[in-house]
A and B are shown apart, each in its own frame.
Chain A
Amino acid sequence: MTLIVTLLAAVITTIVWYTKLPDNTYRIGVLALTYWAAALMWCVDGIACLIGGEPFVEIADTMAMLDDFILGLVVVVVGLTAWALYLLLKDPRNVMAKVFADRRS
């Protein structure tokens, strides 16, 4: 379920990134690449589970599924938080610099 939630987040952010092009002010591509990479890594993890005799995605145990789903949501939130911090640090609209410059003057 974590993989599915992350894949969904990757697809949505990619669509948003594409519809906003050529405007790349908010670096949505950074968020999309983060989700895609994590989804790819969990695909490898799923294949390793299959080889080890476990299911690719847990669907038999409801509690495990729910746990994985909540983890997926947490992962999406962490991705968004990291992206927000990236925006604050990079300050692509130069807003932070203006705000702090105003405070000083």
Chain B
Amino acid sequence: MACFLVSGAEGIVVGAVRHAVKKSEIAKGVIDEEGNQLVDASTHGICWYRKLGWLLNMLWGGVLLLAIEHIWHGEVVLWPPFLTAMQTPDEIPVMLHEMATVGVSMAVLVTAVWVAATLVVDHVVKRSARYTQNTTTEGA
């Protein structure tokens, strides 16, 4: 009914957090004004500004495609009140229940996958740097 709105709300919060993280990482010299990483990713890991960008991308991408599905099924319309469930008072609690269960689960799963992906990517970047260092030392 409106489960994707939970991910949209998370997207707004993550967007604000990313904005604050950008300022902080610029101040620390981790990234430049355009968001390019200035420190070595193999030792410091990938900057949080970039990692949060992946989460934002996942959240808004998912929200867009699920919104299309909801429009297709007539659950979302392009005129007020936008959600067809809002037109019937009996359906409002059902919609809220769906948002609290399915919607929250969607946001949690996407975030959990993002956390796992960031851990794996940081590990891979650091491991590949160690591998390059070892092969260079052996070759010398």
Tell whether, in the assembled complex, residue B58 and residue A34 are in contact, meaning their CB atoms are under 8 Å apart. Answer: yes
Residue of A38, A43, A47, A48 near B61 (CB, 8 A) is: A38
* B65 interface contact, C-beta 8 A: yes
Tell whether, in the assembled complex, residue B61 and residue A82 are in contact, meaning their CB atoms are under 8 Å apart. Answer: yes
Contact A45-B3, Cβ < 8 Å, known A37-B58, A37-B110, A40-B106: yes
Q: In whole Å, how far is B135's beta carbon from the nearest beta carbon of chain A?
A: 18
Beyond the given A34-B64, A78-B68, please list 8 additional residue pairs across the A-B interface where CB-CB is below 8 A: A36-B58, A37-B62, A37-B65, A38-B62, A40-B113, A44-B102, A47-B105, A78-B64
* A74 interface contact, C-beta 8 A: yes
* B79 interface contact, C-beta 8 A: no
Contact A75-B3, Cβ < 8 Å, known A34-B57, A41-B110: no
Which residues of A from 1 to 54 have beta carbons under 8 Å from B?
2, 6, 30, 33-38, 40-45, 47-48
What B residues does A2 contact at CB under 8 A?
69
Tell whether, in the assembled complex, residue A41 and residue B106 are in contact, meaning their CB atoms are under 8 Å apart. Answer: yes
* B78 interface contact, C-beta 8 A: no
Contact A74-B109, Cβ < 8 Å, known A34-B61, A36-B58, A41-B4: no
What B residues does A65 contact at CB under 8 A?
none
* A87 interface contact, C-beta 8 A: no
Which residues of B from 1 to 38 have beta carbons under 8 Å from A?
3-4, 7
What B residues does A79 contact at CB under 8 A?
61, 64-65
* B46 interface contact, C-beta 8 A: no
Tell whether, in the assembled complex, residue A40 and residue B61 are in contact, meaning their CB atoms are under 8 Å apart. Answer: no
Most buried by B among A38, A41, A42, A47: A41
Which B residues form the contact surface with A (CB < 8 A)?
3-4, 7, 54, 57-59, 61-62, 64-66, 68-69, 72, 101-102, 105-106, 109-110, 113
What A residues does B101 contact at CB under 8 A?
48
C-alpha gap A6/B62 in the complex (Å): 11
C-alpha gap A63/B64 in the complex (Å): 25
What B residues does A41 contact at CB under 8 A?
3-4, 7, 62, 65-66, 106, 109-110
Tell whether, in the assembled complex, residue A33 and residue B61 are in contact, meaning their CB atoms are under 8 Å apart. Answer: yes
Residue of A35, A37, A44, A82 near B105 (CB, 8 A) is: A44
Tell whether, in the assembled complex, residue A44 and residue B106 are in contact, meaning their CB atoms are under 8 Å apart. Answer: yes
